[in-house]
Amino acid sequence: MSTFKPEELDLEQLPLLGRGVWGSVFDLDDGTVLKLGKRIGGIGDGHEKLRHEAMVLDRLAQATPPIGSLLPVVVEWDLLDQAIQFEGEPHTIWVRQTKLAGQPATIDQVLGMNGTERRALAASVAESLAGLYGAFERAGVAADLRSSGGVADFQLGDIQLESMDRERLEKFRRIAALLEPADNHPIHGDFNISNILLDNGGRVVGVVDFAETRIGRVEEDICSVTSEIPDLREGYVSSLQSLLDQRIDREALEVFEIGSDLISMIISRYRFSDLREAERLEADVDRCLRRYAAA
Ligand X SMILES: Nc1ncnc2c1ncn2[C@@H]1O[C@H](COP(=O)(O)OP(=O)(O)OP(=O)(O)O)[C@@H](O)[C@H]1O
- Build a one-symbol-per-residue string for 146-185: x at contacts with Mg ion by CB under 5 A, - elsewhere: ----------------------------------------
CB 192 within 8 A of CB 225: yes
Q: Which stretch binds Mg ion (CB under 5 A): 55-63, 139-147, 191-199, 252-260?
A: 191-199
Say which amino acid occupies 118.
R
User: How far is Cα 203 from Cα 239, in angstroms, rounded to an integer?
Assistant: 14
Q: How far is the CB of 112 from ligand X (least distance, A)?
A: 19
Residue 204: which of ligand X, Mg ion, none does it interact with, CB under 5 to 8 A by kind?
none
Which residues of this protein are in contact with ligand X, per CB under 6 A? 17-18, 20-22, 25, 33, 72, 97, 99-100, 104, 190, 194-195, 208-209, 211
Judged by CB under 5 A, the residue of 48, 53, 165, 209 near Mg ion is 209
The string of DSSP letters for 65-91 reads S--GGGS--EEEEEEEEEEEEETTEEE
Residue 254: which of ligand X, Mg ion, none does it interact with, CB under 5 to 8 A by kind?
none
What are the CA-CA distances from residue 128 to residues 11, 137, 197, 259 (Å)?
A: 32, 14, 10, 23
Q: Is 195 in the site for Mg ion (CB under 5 A)?
A: yes
Q: Which stretch binds Mg ion (CB under 5 A): 204-212, 254-262, 267-275, 285-293?
A: 204-212
In the bound state with ligand X, the residue whose beta carbon lies nearer, of 22 and 77, is 22
Q: How far is the CB of 21 from ligand X (least distance, A)?
A: 5
User: How far is Cα 15 from Cα 28, in angstroms, rounded to an integer?
Assistant: 8
CB 89 within 8 A of CB 115: no
Give 31's Cβ-side CA count (13 Å radius).
4
Q: Which residues bind Mg ion (CB under 5 A)?
A: 194-195, 209
